[in-house]
A and B are shown apart, each in its own frame.
Chain A
């Protein structure tokens, strides 16, 4: 990649443009997807993708052109196309970006262990085959699949203001699911709620618990098949980290995105129940709620040094002691709104422009062990592993479903229940937060599939959260 970067830097320096500002963002991504389903290896899928986006600012109006032709002529042609487009849209442009100073940052970011070799294809298949074979023989287990996706992303950002940013990152996503069927109902159990993913190398596979997990996941699928439906009731709700990340993502992350608050997403992803005037004023949750934008957790999926506009990324509290402080908005959104923000202007690839995205959004740990959380619940339910999510376009009324439920009575875990669902309203739900787990209950998870934007973009986000307890939530089961 060193040679590719060197060539791009040389070619970028030779580009010519009449605009006051222009930049290049090059992204190269090599990926592999491996899976074994019911002891049969599926064919491996590899991908090699590379291209560049040229952005131009003319009299405060920006436009972009993305191309996979990385020759000097190809880059020049894209630059000229972007410049022509910026001039064409100027009469109808919403924004004057002249006050926004272009980045002059230089830096390099690497995933932990990026330079260390990753296990070979044969070794990966061996691991997956062993896990697949560990699913016990039971005619009710009708499907199981274990897989490992790995993606290496290298990126270069240059602009005519002297910025030069490089990053080299490896993302590792192990996954394992088992489906059980009794002739009427079926229940599927996923390791980590299908939200396992971290930056790093081979150590991620072990750290996220894939090795040796198959038998337990299969056993839980069978337990669910025999379990009664979740009762319709009002109970204290203990959410484990692999459901907490979804709750955090949908009902704190998205509503705090500044471009939603500014109305950009109203035609697609939606708006927000949070208003610009709420920052510094709104008590978003109980005093136990502390939420950070934290790009500095090395293994978390969206840790980075600078965002895709070249703004330096650093940890910030978005919510402290329940009080809403700061939105998720990059430099442009900060300029538009006059609000503080974070470095979260991100693009999913070379062919999509940066917009405000979640990155690493975390809940800070509290004081209680898992045993203490359970012990503090008189009439409740534990839910784990998200399987269904639905929320209104202002990110307020939600209904979420989990794979795994266990009733809690008088401070003790009781029987397993299936189809656990709950519903609520974001603006009230976080106020019901009554206990936050300590660091021993915290997990670093994430997803590569957060969707937003026009044109649509699916991007990786990281979430680290402890287990949490919410008071008096409406819970219910499935139809069966």
Chain B
């Protein structure tokens, strides 16, 4: 069957999960995940197209369970129904032969609820020729380098217990930088489900305006402590690093979490800090790949640790309720509450210090102490008396999170920015963050 005659992704997944249900023998259970996309990718350099292509891919994650034993197999789907049934059948047979070789898993926890979830947000996206024309026109005279990704993303889940989830959303994400001839750059993103030519032109104009400041001679600072404002994109780098084990039940239990001292009461964060994993209104599915409905989770409330991200395995091992976290227990749609700072007073409140548009390449210099290091990058400025003076040469910081978002946090902006994930490792990701900017009384520069 040619692709033009192939069933929709949903019909394909329904048919395969029904086939699997029928193929099951007494005593067997299954969980079946689906992941698929049809993506346009266009890469730009010097405001021209450097590389362009289209990727059509779909895969199943089959977990077979019997007598407390289980194993998983991920297989690529061809889109041809008969061939895909054969592949699923072959995968089922391989797992049937594998299970007797395994010991029962004491941390296996299956969701026996027959929940249903259905969300389809398939908005028409602009033809890529139209997007190219708009980008080309807006970028005239500019050194633009960036990446456009667009198309539908599908996620599904089915289980032998009768659960069935389907999530499908189309979206676009244009992430770009404008470079000044001196090597300084400003970064921008236009992403969502509805492409509006006027909104894109406005976003490009804002980036173009920032570029003018970058033409000033850059300021190189000596290492030391400085007042600083972290724009939402810079704060995003910090919370994304924190997502690497910070809220994970397993990392906390096994003493591998950067927030273990917060949970132990040995360190404190600012009472201004409220952080939530917010499923509603996000582009992420309302169910996990393990087959649990997801719900909003208050991770930090007024600086105090609250809920953790608990996968089914952690639930079984540590006696916690599973709450729809992914197996790797990282947040996918983090939201930080805004504060009282108005955008109009930001620079005045900063006074003398650093306006940091973006941070880059963060990592831990002492993970148990939540001490982290990273670089400034893109549209970062030296500010004096509330006025932008000069772009910053790239500088390295090294600070504890308990300082940055603890004792040194002066305030958060009222206005927040939504950022959709630009990650395309293996597949397009649909995570997001909604974050304010943060005013710090001190950021330690080291190099």
Contacts and interface: CB of A to CB of B under 8 A. Distances in A.
Nearest to B74: A47
A77 B2 contact: yes
Contacts of A69: 3, 56, 78-80
A45 B106 contact: no
Contacts of B63: 43
Interface in A225-283: 262-264, 266-268, 270-271
A463 B370 CA distance: 30
Contacts of B146: 267
A71 B177 CA distance: 40
Interface string A119-130: 001100100000
Nearest to B53: A64
B191 to A, nearest CB: 14
Interface in A47-98: 47-51, 53, 62-71, 73-74, 77-78, 81-82, 85-86, 88-89, 91-95
Given A92-B136, A393-B375, A423-B396, A179 B255 contact: yes
Contacts of B426: 458
Interface stretch (B38-46, B343-351, B412-420, B431-439): B38-46
A281 B2 CA distance: 56
Contact of A50 (B4, B76, B398): B76
Contact of B371 (A50, A67, A81, A479): A479
Query: Which range contains the number of A residues in contact with the other chain?
Result: 35 or more
Contact of B54 (A82, A95, A122, A394): A82
B425 A456 contact: yes
Most chain B beta-carbon contacts within 10 A, residue among A271, A392, A451: A392
Contact of B52 (A63, A74, A451): A63
A181 B261 CA distance: 12
A392 B103 contact: no
B366 A49 contact: no
A263 B398 CA distance: 28
A46 B53 contact: no
A142 interface: yes
B367 to A, nearest CB: 8
Contact of B145 (A50, A78, A89, A264): A264
B263 to A, nearest CB: 13
A53 B46 CA distance: 26
Interface stretch (A166-174, A204-212, A383-391): A383-391
Contacts of B447: 397, 399, 423, 425
Interface stretch (B65-73, B114-122, B271-279): B65-73
Interface in B3-49: 3-4, 39, 41-46, 48-49
Contacts of A47: 73-75
Contact of A41 (B48, B91, B102): B102
B53 A63 contact: yes
Contacts of A268: 147
A278 B232 CA distance: 37
A216 interface: no
B181 interface: no
Given A48-B73, A266-B177, A458 B54 contact: no
A43 B102 contact: yes
Given A43-B72, A45-B72, A77 B366 contact: no
A388 to B, nearest CB: 5
A353 B55 CA distance: 10
Nearest to A264: B45
A86 B129 CA distance: 11
Interface in B89-116: 91, 94-95, 98, 101-103, 105-108
A421 interface: yes
Interface stretch (B193-201, B281-289, B293-301, B355-363): B355-363
A184 interface: yes
B254 A179 contact: yes
Contacts of B54: 64-66, 81-82, 85
A185 interface: yes
Nearest to B79: A69
Contacts of B73: 45-48
B59 A92 contact: no
Interface string B312-336: 0000000000000000000000000
A430 B77 CA distance: 48
B256 A186 contact: yes
A159 interface: no
A107 to B, nearest CB: 26
20 contacts: A40-B105, A40-B106, A40-B107, A44-B102, A46-B73, A64-B53, A65-B53, A68-B77, A74-B2, A74-B3, A77-B4, A82-B54, A94-B45, A142-B254, A179-B256, A271-B183, A393-B360, A455-B149, A456-B424, A480-B369
3 nearest A-B residue pairs (beta carbon):
A478-B366, A479-B369, A94-B48
Interface of B: 2-4, 39, 41-46, 48-59, 63, 70-80, 83, 87, 91, 94-95, 98, 101-103, 105-108, 128-129, 132, 136, 145-147, 149, 175-177, 179, 183, 185, 187, 254-256, 260, 266, 360-369, 371, 373-375, 377, 394, 396, 398, 400, 423-426, 428, 446-447
Interface of A: 40-51, 53, 62-71, 73-74, 77-78, 81-82, 85-86, 88-89, 91-95, 121-122, 125, 142-143, 179, 181, 184-186, 188, 262-264, 266-268, 270-271, 351-353, 355, 387-394, 397, 399, 401, 419, 421, 423, 425, 451, 454-458, 477-480
Given A86-B52, A390-B396, A455-B149, 5 more contacts: A43-B108, A74-B79, A179-B256, A391-B361, A478-B369
